[in-house]
Amino acid sequence: MRDSNIVRKLILWAWASFMGVFIRKVINTFRPTANILGKLQGGQERIKKDTLKWMHEGHYKSDDYSSLDANGRALVDYVCNHAKTNEKILDICCNQGRFILELRRRSYTKLYGFDVMGAAIQKLKQSEDYNADLIHVEHCLAQEYFADKGDKYFDWAITYTATIELIHPQFDIFRELGRTVNKGMFLVLNENGHSYPRFYRLLHWMNGFKIVAISKQAKNIVLIHSVKVR
């Protein structure tokens, strides 16, 4: 038992080490290795399995993400300084819509979002600030959400960490963002953390975005502002 615990700790240490994170980034960033990883782990079933713990409130409560902290408000302020109130904004993995609702309070009129947790989406729709004509949200997986969205459907996309970083790389979410986003993105990401670290800055370039600003929000967390160039 002791030996197995030692082996387990060594594996976890290697997984989180600089070289371990680098290797994971390589695998998760490039399509051939990401697809091989997905197939080895069970394909679409693995993608769905990754989402199971987020579908219900057993792993965490949606109320944990009901309010904005200082960094969250900084993201909203940044969006308001760069996006017009009549432009379409997508919140990736919006939970119960703390960013969407705050943008609505600031007069934004074309807000979109999706999340795998049904209880969170239900709470969003029960908010006094919810307006079905201005806020369009869906309870679904990321791959389901983008399936029926046309090219350049959104003007901007936003997210606030522990979202994209938890989506299995076999689903190429950056390709979908490159296809459906017309003007740019404001992504708050943990570049080295969570389940699937990637070379996010390279992925922006690979999918038609130019990074115009990067600002540190907290330890290991950055806000990447990009614009669409092709």
Question: Which pLDDT belongs to residue 6?
Answer: 57
Is the pLDDT reported for residue 187 higher than 90?
A: yes
CATH fold of 2-228 reads Rossmann fold (3.40.50)
- Spatial CB neighbours of 43, under 8 Å, sequence gap ≥ 6: 170
Residue 91 pLDDT level (bands cut at 50, 70, 90): very high
Report if pTM > 0.85. yes
Q: What is the pLDDT of residue 3?
A: 54
pLDDT over 70 for what percent of the chain?
93
pLDDT for the residue numbered 230? 86
- Averaged pLDDT for residues 163-175: 95
Q: Look at residue 62 and tell me whether its pLDDT is greater than 80.
A: no
Give me the mean pLDDT over the 33-50 stretch: 86
Mean pLDDT of 89-115: 97
The 3-state secondary structure of the chain, one letter per residue: CHHHHHHHHHHHHHHHCHHHHHHHHHHHHCHHHHHHHHHHCCCHHHHHHHHHHHHCCCCCCHHHHCCCCHHHHHHHHHHHHHCCCCCCEEECCCCCCHHHHHHHHCCCCCEEEEECCHHHHHHHHHCCCCCCCCEEEEECCHHHHHHCCCCCCEEEEEEECCCHHHCCCCCCHHHHHHHHEEEEEEEEEECCCCCCCCCHHHHHHHCCEEEEEEEEEECCEEEEEEEECC
Residue 13 is predicted with a pLDDT of 54
What span, in angstroms and rounded, lies between the C-alpha atoms of 76 and 225? 13
Least confident of 52-56, 103-107, 166-170, 200-204: 52-56
Average pLDDT over residues 91-113: 97
The predicted model gives 131-159 an average pLDDT of: 97
Q: In this predicted model, which residue has the larger pLDDT, 47 or 82?
A: 82
Would you state the pLDDT for residue 15? 54
Mean pLDDT along residues 94-121: 96
Q: Percent of the chain scored above 90 by pLDDT?
A: 76
CA angle 117, 118, 122 (to 5 degrees): 125
Contact 50, 166 (CB under 8 A): yes
Task: Please provide the size of the chain in residues.
Answer: 230
CA distance 21 to 93: 24
